[in-house]
Amino acid sequence: MYDGDIDYSKYGLSELEEALANINRQLYPKNYDNLCAAYFLIAKKYPTEKPMAANPEPIKKIEVSWTGPSYDENGRYLPNDIPPEKRNFYIIFSIILFSYGSYGAWINDLYVPGKRRGIHLHDVPAWIMYGAIICACVVMASVVIDHYDRRNNEKHYREFAKAGEYIGWSLFGASLIWHVIY
């Protein structure tokens, strides 16, 4: 879109008011002038000044990455702090997930819910999926344990969690493939 290329003469009053509320006057001054003129012809008054709705600066994507251990002003190591809500969620979800997987493996019918319908896994695929569930529980438990471990070893916990994720997703995929093939 170029500045000045919009024809506002075919817009209704509500459309013009919506356009006035959302136009960026700094980026499109000609369009803003044309919009004000079209609004004046219909409403017989100039639009009131409204703050700009659009931000001329592009929105920057925020990436969260681990930068390494933290230290205070005296050079002492600061252990990472996991919020209690996240810790409680991981503990409760791990217990529920472990119980669900254990029950499904015990009765030899592990149901994996899906978007339209789920899959009932039996025998070997059920046990492989149970292994994936155990990996998920162990990864969540490592996050909680890392909070209480005050040593400078967050890197090891992150590596452990990453390995657990890879193993868990691999077991998940292997279970579904085994179920489809056999």
Q: What is the pLDDT of residues 11-39, one digit of tens each?
A: 888 888 888 888 887 778 888 888 888 88
Range from 42-46, 94-98, 134-138, 155-159 carrying the lowest mean pLDDT: 42-46
Contacts of 162 (CB under 8 A, 6+ apart): none
Question: Mean per-residue pLDDT for 87-105?
Answer: 94
Beta bridge partners of 77: 71
- What mean pLDDT is predicted for residues 161-169? 94
Count H helices and E strands in the chain, helices first: 5, 4
Please tell me the distance from the alpha carbon of residue 127 to that of residue 141, in angstroms, as a whole number: 21
CA distance 145 to 158: 12
The whole-number average pLDDT for the span 147-152 is 82
Question: Tokens 């001329």 sit at which residue?
Answer: 56
pLDDT of amino acid 26:
78
| pTM, entire model | 0.59
pLDDT above 50 (res 101): yes
In terms of pLDDT, which residue wins out, 162 or 38?
162
Query: How confident is the prediction for the chain on average, in pLDDT?
Result: 82
Q: Which pLDDT belongs to residue 176?
A: 92
Dihedral pair phi/psi, residue 111, rounded to 5°: -90, 125
Q: What is the pLDDT of residues 51-89, one digit of tens each?
A: 444 445 554 554 555 556 677 677 777 777 788 898 899
